[in-house]
Homo-oligomer: A and B are copies of this chain.
Amino acid sequence: STATTKTSTSGDPLPSWNDGAVKKSITDYVTDVTKEGSADFIPVRDRIATFDNDGTLWSEQPIYFELFYALDEVKAMAPKHPDWKTKQPFKAVLENNMGEMMKQGQKGLLQIFAITHSGMTTDQFDSTVSRWADTAKHPIKKKRYKDLVFQPMLELVKYLQANQFKVFIVSGGEIDFMRAWAEDVYGIPKNQIVGSSIKSKYEYNNGKPFIIKTPELDFIDDKEGKPVGIMKYIGRRPVFAAGNSDGDLQMLQWAASNKFKNFEIYVHHTDSVREWAYDRKSHIGTLDKGLDEAIAKKWAIADMKNDWKVIYPSGK
Contact stretch, chosen from A62-70, A131-139, A249-257, A276-284? A249-257
User: How many copies make up the complex?
Assistant: 2
Tally of contact residues, A, Cβ under 8 A: 39
Q: Could you tell me if A253 and B200 are in contact, using CB atoms closer than 8 angstroms?
A: no
Cβ proximity bits A183-195 to B, threshold 8 Å, 1 near / 0 not: 1000001111100
Q: Considering the chains assembled together, what is the distance between the CA atoms of A202 and B251 in angstroms?
A: 10
Contact stretch, chosen from A52-60, A226-234, A299-307? A226-234
Q: Considering the chains assembled together, what is the distance between the CA atoms of A231 and B201 in angstroms?
A: 10
Interface positions of A from 221 to 268, Cβ below 8 Å from B: 224-225, 227-228, 231-236, 250, 253-254, 257
Q: Could you tell me if A236 and B202 are in contact, using CB atoms closer than 8 angstroms?
A: no
- Name the contact of A224 in the complex, choosing from B5, B176, B202, B254 (C-beta under 8 A): B202
Q: Could you tell me if B235 and A179 are in contact, using CB atoms closer than 8 angstroms?
A: yes
Q: Considering the chains assembled together, what is the distance between the CA atoms of A265 and B134 in angstroms?
A: 38
Q: Could you tell me if A231 and B122 are in contact, using CB atoms closer than 8 angstroms?
A: yes
Q: Given A250-B202, A253-B204, A257-B208, are A234 and B190 also a contact pair (CB < 8 Å)?
A: yes
Q: Could you tell me if B191 and A231 are in contact, using CB atoms closer than 8 angstroms?
A: no
For residue A253, give the distance in angstroms from its CB to the closest CB of chain B.
5
Q: Could you tell me if A228 and B250 are in contact, using CB atoms closer than 8 angstroms?
A: no
Most buried by B among A208, A210, A211, A250: A211
Q: Could you tell me if A231 and B209 are in contact, using CB atoms closer than 8 angstroms?
A: no
